[in-house]
Every structure is written in structure tokens, then in C-alpha cells.
Chain A
């Protein structure tokens, strides 16, 4: 019954590695998002996809690349991980475009880069 799921829930890795976080929603939504929760627990938008097309791309290092194989999935790939990438990453989805419909959040993925 999970609406928005993320895997893995925890990710501990070494600096310089490449890793991916996966997100899936079973709500039939058209729009998906990636947010980063910083150390003060402030949430910042990173990317948004609508019908597999990128619509929001905030100032994020090129090492972060979202991939949407279909409407139900939005994965986040991170190359050459750095210590500062340690954070909680949230995936979310909404029926329509941002601001028109409420967002449903995944449980978050805690990334720790050593």
C-alpha cells in the first residue's frame, strides 16, 4: 500500500563512489520530485519531472543526475560522492504540476558519505 517508496532507506558509502537512489510511486501521478534535507532540516527542491520531462532543475552540481524511465519512477544518480552530499533525500509525487496538487512524500533516504 506504500504510495511513494524510496530505496535504499539508508546508504553509507565512501567519498568518490557513484550511487543511486530509487523512487517509485503507485499513485498514478504525473509529477515527481527530489528534495534535499540539509543539516538544519530545511528542505530544498532539486529536480522535478512531469510526464518524464524535466521541469524544475535548481542549482545542483552536475554530479547529480535524475533519471525517469517512466512516470512511476524517478531515480537519482550521484557521481563522485562528496562529504557534503551527506543528507536526507526525499522523493515526492503529485497528480499534476507543482502548486496545483498536493505532494506525497516518500520516507526519505539517509545518505552518509565517509
Chain B
């Protein structure tokens, strides 16, 4: 079945890079997503990558996709205290099907 796994916690110092990892199971997933959950808000889309891409960069965010290993990562450069949040990885199984979410990685940024 479909499953998305993430580590639950990550702690980094302000200014360092953060790398949040995710593995998924559906090799036919067309898109993979990173969502951010900030206090007081619902999930917000951070970025996404199409399955035929290896890398996508958007300002401080870099998404790497290893389709062979079904591994997705989100790198945040120069991590700030405002980046402290829970980050969810999600895969998009083929067809008109619901997203499948990981359980979220709590990123704590230490000043």
C-alpha cells in the first residue's frame, strides 16, 4: 500500500542548513510535496516537485528527489527561527486519488 515515512524530529542551530528526509512507496507518484504547518495555521504548501525532476530550488529551499530509492529531501539553507514548524511530505499516487501524507517532521531551530 501507500506509505510515506519521515523522521519525527530535527533540531538545528540558527544559520545552519536543515535537511528533512522522506521516503515514499508509490513509484507511480507524479508529484511530491512539502507542506509546512505553522502555529495557528493549517498546512501551507511550501514547494513541490514533479517526478521527472531530480532537483528543484526555490530561494532557501532545495528539494532533491531520488526516484530509484523513492527518497525525497527538503534542504533549508540558513535556517532561521521562523522556520521552526512541522514539515509534511506528501506523495500524489497516480490518478484522481487523495494525497498521502507522512506524519510530519518537527523542526526546532535553536538561536
Residues of A within 8 A of B (CB): 33, 35, 37, 41-45, 48, 56, 58, 88, 90, 97-100, 102-105, 107-108, 110
Main secondary structure of the interface of A (DSSP, over half): strand
The CA-CA distance from A43 to B98 in the complex, in Å, is 10
Query: Out of B33, B86, B101, which one reaches A105, CB within 8 Å?
Result: B101
Residues of A near B37 (CB, < 8 A) are 98-99, 102-103
Binary per-residue interface labels of chain B (40-54) against chain A in the complex, 1 for a CB within 8 Å, 0 otherwise: 111101001000000
Residues of B within 8 A of A (CB): 8, 31, 33, 35, 37-43, 45, 48, 85-86, 88, 90, 92, 96-99, 101, 103-104, 106
B40 touches A88 (CB 8 A): no
User: Top 5 nearest A-B pairs by Cβ distance?
Assistant: A45-B42, A108-B98, A99-B39, A102-B104, A88-B98
The CA-CA distance from A108 to B86 in the complex, in Å, is 21
